[in-house]
Structure 1
Amino acid sequence: MRNQNHNVYPDHGAHFMKLLAIAALIWLGAPPALADSSEEALIEQRVRDFLIEQARPLGDSVSVSVQRAQARLPACENPQPFLPRNNQRLYGRVAVGVDCNGEGGRTRYVQADVSVTIEHVVLARDVPRGATLTSQDLMLEKGFLEKLPRQAVKRIEGAVGLVATRALRAGTTLQSYQLRRENLVKRGQTVSVIARGEGFQVRREAQAMDNGAMGEQVRLRIANGELLQARVIGPKRLSVEF
């Protein structure tokens, strides 16, 4: 007797081919492979090494903490970090681009916290307004660049001989806006001017028309009433080059 139910079940070969077709459709429409933990670790390491190298000239030591991505991202083979902007600040919170899979590949962006340890100048004692700073007024301390004021003074030599524009308290960070250069020439003073040229040098007196610190240009009036510009080279001393 012939089996009446032979059409109920499809042919096994046809069924297998359908499964292959469905699998192919799923594979073609699948999203790109996702980065695994080892790839993420490689990205973090390369970003960390890149930022340490970039920030090394800023201070004595550099530490970097890379922020891990919250979502799973596409795979990133051979990640190459770069700075997205020219003249980008390299301390504090820093954004880094990562070129994935070579030229024309995906680019992702990573956030990192960069800490740079540097020496900076602090007041060793109270300094009154108008006082000229000496090396005894100042000392160096270590601190984090990302936490210091932008105008923090970093070298004692850069502050010695400058004048405090306000009263400064011991232990505070010295900032450049708190200082001005000492005027070695004052308006109305009689000053000595040296005129130099090829094969000659002449010294004469003149009247200063401006205040001036070391290296600054000021106006002078000489005996015949003529005005000229001269460069401050010392207390009440100026030079004109011909």
Structure 2
Amino acid sequence: MDTRTRITACTSRIGRGSRRAVAMLAVTAVLWTGAAGANDRQSLDEIREAVTEHARAKLAEGSNSTVEVSRVDPRLRLAPCGEPLETFEPPGRGGRSRATVGVRCHAPSPWTLYVSVRIETIKDIFVAARTIPRGTLLTESDLTRVERNVNRLTRGYFTDAEQLLGMEASRPLREGEIITAGRIDAPRLVERGQTVLITASGSGASISMSGEALQSGALGDRIRVRNNSSERVVEGEIVADSRVQVGY
């Protein structure tokens, strides 16, 4: 009777000693004792093709992406799968640039293999066209496009200039520095202590009055304001420069 041994093997390179680990896994991988012909083991090319298709469909971002599948150890003797190979993404393995794709066979002899892939997605993103001081409101002259592999950009990026124009640099930006959400803020339209126009609306009526901002904020922020006439403190939404909308 043939003896078939099941084990999960990983072919990715993950730091020092990985070659030794892969070699050990290869020795203890799924073995098919008996004849050693090509028809007696699973095609490694089919495994790589399945991994490539999965990565392109589930992990890559269209035509801007390239997928490189790690080498599968040719010494592996995996039992031929009697059904289409199943691919999946193991939880907690891989990131945007490097990921792991699992390949599984259920019958006649179950086995599971993990293969690492490297994904590159090239996009035009915005960087600072010059040194930008903190507090600067960004204009087109402050922005320039460069090509980058965005899978390596863990802090984010912008591809749409409309999302940046008019935003305020929350910290100094060096020339060529990638502009991220952590580097910009919506500009403040109201400063604490500033005189604002308070508009109250409801039941089909609207009234306006002068007030004092008790907090600073940007468009859409809710802040507290004091009615200069009644001294009443209310909360409202910043709807424009120096304008706060409250309900009643």
Q: Please report the TM-score for the alignment, with normalisation by the length of structure 1.
A: 0.77
SS at match of 1:43: helix
Moved more, 104-113 or 221-230: 104-113
Partner letter of residue 41 of structure 1? D
Q: Secondary structure at the match of 2:135?
A: coil
Residues in 2 aligned to 1:123 and 1:187: alpha-carbon distance in whole angstroms: 30
> C-alpha displacement at 1:112, in angstroms?
0.9
1:102-135 per-position Cα deviation (integer Å, ceiling 9, x unaligned): 6993322111111111221111223222211112
Residue of structure 1 in register with 2:230 after alignment? 224
1:233 counterpart letter in structure 2: V
1:209-220 alignment to 2 at 5 Å?
Answer: 209-220=214-225
What SS does the corresponding residue of 1:231 show, helix, strand or coil?
strand
Question: Where in structure 1 are there 5+ consecutive unaligned residues?
Answer: 1-26
Question: Which amino acid in 2 is paired with 1:187?
Answer: R
Q: CA deviation at 1:213?
A: 0.5
**d(CA) in 1 for partners of 2:95 and 2:221?**
34
Q: Paired residue for 1:15? A: none
Structure 2 residue matching 1:42: 3-state secondary structure: helix
In 1, are the aligned partners of 2:189 and 2:240 still within 8 Å (CA)?
yes
Using the alignment, how far apart are the partners of 1:188 and 1:106 within structure 2?
A: 69
- Unpaired segments ≥5 residues, structure 2: 6-30
1:63-83 deviation line (CA, Å, top 9, x unaligned): 111112334042352211111
Residue 79 of structure 1 corresponds to 85
Residue 236 (structure 1) aligned to one of 219, 233, 242: 242
Distance 1:116 1:35 in 2: 39
* Of 162-171 and 45-54, the range deviating more from structure 2: 162-171
The answer (yes or no) to whether the contact 1:51–1:90 under 8 Å persists in 2 is no
197 and 30 in structure 1: CA distance in 2 versus 1, 3 angstrom threshold: closer
2:114 is matched with which residue?
109
Q: Distance in 2 between matches of 1:103 and 1:134?
A: 64
* Map 1:46-61 → 2, pairs under 5 A: 46-57=50-61, 61=64
Task: Say whether 1:160 aligns with 2:170.
Answer: no
Q: Describe the shift of the 1:110–1:67 C-alpha distance in structure 2 as closer, same or farther (beyond 3 A).
A: same
Given that 2:42 and 2:77 are in contact with CA atoms closer than 8 Å, whether structure 1 keeps it comes out as no
Aligned mate of 2:200, from 195, 203, 228:
195
The alpha-carbon distance between structure 1 residues 117 and 178, as it changes in their structure 2 partners (threshold 3 A), is: same
The aligned counterpart of 2:15 is none
Match of 2:68 in 1: 65
Classify the secondary structure of the residue corresponding to 1:113. strand
- Between 1 and 2, higher relative CO (CA 8 Å, sep ≥ 6) is seen in 2
Paired residue type of 1:79: L
- 5 Å matches for 1:91-130? 91-101=96-106, 105-130=110-135
Which of these residues, 46, 68, 74, is aligned with residue 42 of structure 1?
A: 46
Q: Which amino acid aligns with 2:235?
A: Q
Q: Which residue of structure 1 lines up, in the alignment, with residue 10 of structure 2?
A: none
CA distance in 2, matches of 1:198, 1:100: 66
Aligned to 1:48, what secondary structure does the other structure show?
helix
Name the SS for the 1:130 alignment partner.
coil
Q: Give % identity.
A: 25
Cα distance between partner residues in 1 of 2:234 and 2:185: 25
Residue 139 of structure 1: SS of its match in structure 2?
A: strand
Once residues 106 and 45 of structure 2 are traced to their aligned partners in structure 1, the CA distance between those partners, rounded to angstroms, is 16
Q: Give how far 1:50 is off.
A: 1.1
User: Could you tell me whether the CA contact under 8 Å between 2:214 and 2:225 is conserved in 1?
Assistant: yes
